[in-house]
Amino acid sequence: MFMSREAAFFADLGAGPRLEIAGGTVTGTDHLALGRPNQDAFAFRAEGGCLAAVVCDGCGSGARSEVGAALGARLVTEQVLGALRRGGDLESPETWEEVRRGALAPLRTMAVGMGGSLAEVVSTYFLFTVVGLAISGDRACAFSLGDGLIALGDDLLRLGPFPRNEPPYLAYGLLDRPPGGEAPRFTVHRAFPSSALRTALLGTDGAIDLLESSSRQIPGGGGAVGPLSRFWEDDRMFANPDAVRRRLALINRAVTRPVWKEERMEREGGLLRDDTTLVVVRRAQSARD
């Protein structure tokens, strides 16, 4: 089963852990103000005892980078699964080079087929970051190419920011002269036994706003935003396929209400300036009991 929109499902990894997975995304307030679309995407899939889950963030200066993010989420997920099914070692640079090349191949075909300047096509459509989780048998790892956020239980990894707010992008590998002179590679940040996985959260860089807003109040009432752990501790996030998106939308809603004594209207804006996308993973209830 391939999930790339608001979704929640169970992943049974055979002899490995049975996991619950959910995802959601909302458009940032800065993008809403400019009339721009959500340039984030996510995807996850389990097959043959393996799991791959990723979130992707399109480059903000790319006019149509939501295209690349949506394609990239699916392509990277499929390439990770393919490499693992073929016996790839999660901790081997060769495995991640196989994933990188495998994801770039269809992007190259599309970019060349669109005509015109390859550099212009890539910068307009195909620049996106990747943050992911992979599981194969008794091993698991968290990986990325670009900025974002990874939480493995209490272990929090903030990826970036990069100089001049210019993270590396997978699609730079399509260019003869990529920025920095070398095509970016995937980084494995943590590798661990899959039996040790209890919870994981993958976030695009907009999730940093979410993290830093934990003590703030949700616009229009509804209590505090709360810690990231709410997304994996709340059973509703996994019971309703739209629950993660709804929670993010609540945090990011704009509310206008009257201040009667001052005879004016007060507007309270959403708390997430950038597009924010999460994939949340936890061990299934029966496995946690």
Does pLDDT of 197 surpass 80? yes
Rounded Cα–Cα distance for residues 65 and 124 (Å): 6
Instruction: Residue 162: count other Cβ atoms within 10 Å of its Cβ.
Output: 13
Long-range contacts, 79-84 (Cβ 8 Å, 24+): 79/103, 80/52, 80/54, 80/132, 80/134, 81/45, 81/47, 81/48, 81/50, 81/52, 84/50, 84/52, 84/134, 84/136
* pLDDT at residue 287 in the model: 52
Rounded Cα–Cα distance for residues 179 and 55 (Å): 23
What token pair was written down for 136?
Answer: 């194969």
- Which is more confidently placed, 157 or 16? 157
What token pair was written down for 12?
Answer: 């049974």
The residue written with tokens 């295209």 in the block is 67
Q: What is the dihedral of CA 150, 67, 243, 230, to 10 degrees?
A: 20
Does pLDDT of 9 surpass 80? no
* pLDDT at residue 288 in the model: 56
Residue 115's pLDDT band, with cuts at 50, 70 and 90, is very high
* pLDDT at residue 165 in the model: 86
The answer to whether residues 225 and 214 touch, using CB atoms and an 8 Å cutoff, is yes
Handedness of CA 271, 277, 279, 285 (dihedral sign): positive
For the residues 254-278, what does the mean pLDDT come to? 84
Partners of residue 159 on adjacent β-strands: 148
For the residues 39-44, what does the mean pLDDT come to? 97
Does pLDDT of 10 surpass 70? no
Does pLDDT of 59 surpass 50? yes
* pLDDT at residue 16 in the model: 64
Give me the percent of the chain exceeding a pLDDT of 70: 91
Mean pLDDT of the chain: 92
Listed residue (261, 232, 212) closest to 8, CA to CA: 232
The residue written with tokens 């979130």 in the block is 55
Residue 18's pLDDT band, with cuts at 50, 70 and 90, is confident
Rounded Cα–Cα distance for residues 43 and 23 (Å): 8
Residue 107's pLDDT band, with cuts at 50, 70 and 90, is very high
Listed residue (4, 34, 5, 39) closest to 275, CA to CA: 39
Listed residue (183, 77, 91) closest to 131, CA to CA: 77
Listed residue (216, 280, 238, 229) closest to 25, CA to CA: 280
Residue 145's pLDDT band, with cuts at 50, 70 and 90, is very high
153: left (phi over 0), alpha (psi -120 to 50) or beta: left
Does pLDDT of 4 surpass 50? no
Q: What share of the chain is helix, strand, coil (3-state, %, to 5)?
A: 35, 30, 35
DSSP per-residue letters across 153-215: TTEEEEE-PPGGG----GGGGGSSS-GGGS----EEEEEEEGGG--EEEEE-TTHHHHHHTTT
Give me the percent of the chain exceeding a pLDDT of 90: 81
Provide the b/e sequence for 211-231 (b: ≥16 CB within 10 Å): bebeeeebbeeeeebbebeeb
Does pLDDT of 5 surpass 60? no
